[in-house]
A = this chain, B = another copy of it.
Amino acid sequence: MPSFGDAIVTTIDVRYAETDRQGVVYHANFLVWMEIGRTTFLSALGIPYDRLEDRGLLFSVLEARCRYPGAARYGDRVEVATRVLEVRSRTVAFAYELSIEGRRIATAETTLIALDRGRRPRRIPDDVRALLERGPAAG
């Protein structure tokens, strides 16, 4: 898994199901790819997200913003570079850069809020917060 600055890069092959009748990937699917970026990022930190949920720590998207200067097509391989923008007591913000062969197709940010099983806001545990703040180890 290559790392780019303090980002983790995930590679995604465009699925036929992700295209729409304009012949390009439907825009909502970029949010799905960004989440795969987060999953890979957390795994690289040693905190598989499914284990967090097993511990009663859910992350829910509070805000998402995405700009689409380019498009992706079936047959393309997309690189999603994911990094942490900011960590607070209950929220964490990620930034993403999506590119195809070095050509940037989208940039985005999402803010996630930590919830308990009852979907009430809760503090991010110190160990998780420390890992998020430190980021992936230099490769």
Chain A residues close to B by CB (< 8 Å): 13, 15-17, 19-24, 26-29, 31-32, 35-36, 39, 48-50, 53, 58, 60-69, 71, 73-75, 119
**Are the CB atoms of A20 and B21 closer together than 8 Å?**
yes
Number of identical monomers bound together in the oligomeric complex: 4
Distance in angstroms between the alpha carbons of A24 and B32 in the assembled complex:
15
Other than the known A19-B21, A28-B31, what 9 A-B pairs have Cβ atoms closer than 8 Å? A20-B21, A21-B22, A21-B24, A21-B73, A27-B61, A62-B68, A63-B65, A64-B64, A71-B119
**Are the CB atoms of B22 and A60 closer together than 8 Å?**
yes
- CB within 8 A of A66: which of B17, B20, B49, B64? B64
Top 10 A-B pairs ranked by shortest CB distance?
Answer: A28-B31, A19-B21, A50-B75, A27-B61, A65-B65, A17-B32, A21-B23, A28-B28, A63-B67, A19-B20
Chain B residues within 8 Å of A53, by CB = 21-22
Chain B residues within 8 Å of A65, by CB = 63-66
25 inter-chain pairs at a CB distance below 8 angstroms, sorted by A residue, are A15-B36, A16-B20, A17-B28, A17-B35, A19-B20, A19-B21, A20-B21, A21-B53, A21-B73, A21-B74, A22-B58, A24-B60, A24-B119, A27-B31, A28-B28, A28-B29, A48-B75, A49-B75, A60-B68, A62-B69, A63-B65, A63-B66, A63-B68, A65-B65, A71-B119
